[in-house]
Amino acid sequence: MGERVFELPEIGFSARLEAAMPRGVSALLWFLRKKPLGAAGALVIGGMLLMALAAGMVAPYDPLETDFGAMLGPPGRAHWLGTDAFGRDVLSRIMHGARTALLVGFASSFLGATLGALIGVASGYLGGRVDLYTQRGMDIVISFPIIVLALTVVAMLGSGTFNLILAITIPFIPRVSQVVRASALSIREMPYIEAARALGMGKARIILRHMFPNVMASYLVMLTAFLGQAILLEASLSFLGLGTAEPTPSWGLMLRGAAVEFAERAPWMAIFPGLTISAAVFAFNVLGDALRDILDPKLRMA
């Protein structure tokens, strides 16, 4: 009898090429192939970051420079996106406004997600009355719509970038806390948590060293999801006159300046900032959805 020969399936060229690449590059290619919409959102966000960082070098005009001879100028060779009611270049103000939007968005989302995650982990681990009272307090805060609570806080504290960040941070805390607490309740019963207790570790050490790192998936998903909401809230509050103040470049302030009185004469004052806000919110939302699909084990198994 002849010897049987078993042939291994041939590995495709793309798979061999991906296997030969560094791990980070292969992970990036996998993300591009599996989550193209999320990758597109990440590309838009990366472009916004570059625009914000390099605005001082690439912006064609000073965003605060007024030119009363070019007021309400339509898009053209001199001003690609037109000018506003003070003759300021719309493109330059959009570029510099990315700094305000991303600063407020990242700062408020990071603070809200981090504080909410810490409260949720501590509440889930400690249980008892601490958990009961903490969650009832979170329920009270979460009962208010985000925009209403943010309006209340900024109306009490006053306008300004710091107060704006604080006003957006507070509504995010209870929402993150409840999601993270649900994960912490299951992690609390894991054998390694029991082992840590048996070794005499303190509660604070168990929460920070053993529980918080294991809720990072929920934390990152919530952080990314709230970034788009934070940018939208910043624009909304600035539009209402409760956010950043003139002459600071801000997308919301640009929409406020393009109010009804200029809607027909200079529609570009509202169209281009509005499109920028929409692109930013959409990019963060699709990236958050992609991260949720990757980091959630139930969705990953499906």
The predicted-structure confidence for 45-69, as pLDDT tens digits, reads as follows: 999 999 999 998 999 999 988 888 8
Among 79, 59, 58, 57, which residue's Cα sits nearest to residue 69? 79
pLDDT for position 111: 94
Q: What's the burial of 295, exposed, middle or buried (CB within 10 Å: 0-12/13-18/19+)? A: middle
Long-range CB contacts (within 8 A, 24+) of 271-276 = 272/81, 272/82, 272/90, 272/91, 272/94, 273/90, 273/94, 273/97, 276/94, 276/97, 276/98, 276/251
153/149 Cα distance (integer angstroms): 6
pLDDT for position 256: 82
Q: What is the pTM of this model?
A: 0.82
| CB 253, CB 239: distance < 8 Å | yes
Tell me how crowded residue 196 is: count the other CB atoms within 10 A of its CB: 18
Structure tokens at 35: 């989550």
pLDDT tens digit sequence for 233-252:
999 898 888 888 878 888 98
pLDDT for position 17: 42
The one-letter amino acid code at 166 reads: L
Q: Which CATH number does 71-301 carry?
A: 1.10.3720.10
Structure tokens at 201: 């570790």
| Domain layout of the chain by residue ranges | 71-301
pLDDT for position 168: 93
> Which residues of the chain fall below pLDDT 50?
1, 5-6, 8-11, 13-18, 20, 299, 301-302
